[in-house]
Amino acid sequence: MDDDTSIVIRPGTGDDLFMIAGVLVDTWRSTFRGLLADDFLDGMSREEQAVRHARRMGAPGVYYLVAADPSAGEIVGFVNFGPGRGKVPDDIHEIYALYVRAEYQGSGIGTALVRAAAQHSAGRCARSLFAWVLAGNPNRRFYEKLGASAVEMAGIGLGNRTYDQVAYLWEDITLLLQP
């Protein structure tokens, strides 16, 4: 990524779905190759992910923010978030998905997306924010560097296998609102 590139964080729309799906599929393949089964990764499609995210985008209280590179005419990252799933108090929000294209990682886009999601969630009375992250994710330290604590482990089924995942929690969402 050029240092001169101006990335814009904005709400995601239905027009963005195919590019959002492309970011997700490409990022999963580049990040999780060797961790997840190849047939699972190779079987992922932009079309199926676009349909999946179209359903999610229409759900009450669910939000998308995208990182757009206007000079390239593409979305280079996104965050999808909203109320916590499961038996979670109403004032705890969840990041369901956070992905940034490999060539843009390390540039601050992921941090900007998390902070924007935190600001949006705090405006809806959330006091805490959490994200489930695959235990083998080589980028797990990103969450720790932003002040999240690992608070729980659970399994997640992907394809025909189960993988460990870790819940990272920002107990005080306001800490993400400070520069």
Is residue 158, in this structure, part of any structural domain at all? no
Q: How many Cβ atoms are within 10 Å of 93's Cβ, its own excluded?
A: 28
Question: Residue 4 pLDDT > 50, yes or no?
Answer: no
Question: Residue 1 pLDDT > 80, yes or no?
Answer: no
Is residue 47, in this structure, part of any structural domain at all? yes
Question: 159 and 37 in contact (C-beta within 8 Å)?
Answer: yes
- List of residues 6+ apart from 127 with CB closer than 8 A: 91, 92, 172, 173
Domain holding 30, by residue range, is 8-126
Distance CA 1, CA 40 (A): 29
- The mean predicted confidence, pLDDT, of the chain is 93
Distance CA 124, CA 91 (A): 8
> Tokens 């924010």 appear where?
129
- Residue 5 has a pLDDT of 61
Is residue 141, in this structure, part of any structural domain at all? no
59-72: pLDDT as tens digits: 999 999 999 999 88
Question: 131 and 167 in contact (C-beta within 8 Å)?
Answer: yes
Count of domains observed in the chain:
1
Question: Residue 134 pLDDT > 70, yes or no?
Answer: yes
Is residue 74, in this structure, part of any structural domain at all? yes
Distance CA 44, CA 55 (A): 17
Band of the pLDDT at 178, cuts 50, 70, 90? Answer: confident
Question: Residue 75 pLDDT > 70, yes or no?
Answer: yes
Is residue 88, in this structure, part of any structural domain at all? yes
CATH code, 95: 3.40.630.30
Is residue 33, in this structure, part of any structural domain at all? yes
Mean predicted confidence (pLDDT) in 93-119: 96
| DSSP codes joined into one string, 99-137 | EE-GGGTTSSHHHHHHHHHHHHHHTTT--EEEEEEETT-
Is residue 139, in this structure, part of any structural domain at all? no
Distance CA 60, CA 83 (A): 9
Is residue 120, in this structure, part of any structural domain at all? yes
pTM of the model: 0.92
Mean predicted confidence (pLDDT) in 103-112: 95
Mean predicted confidence (pLDDT) in 6-12: 95
Greater confidence (87 vs 39) lies with 39
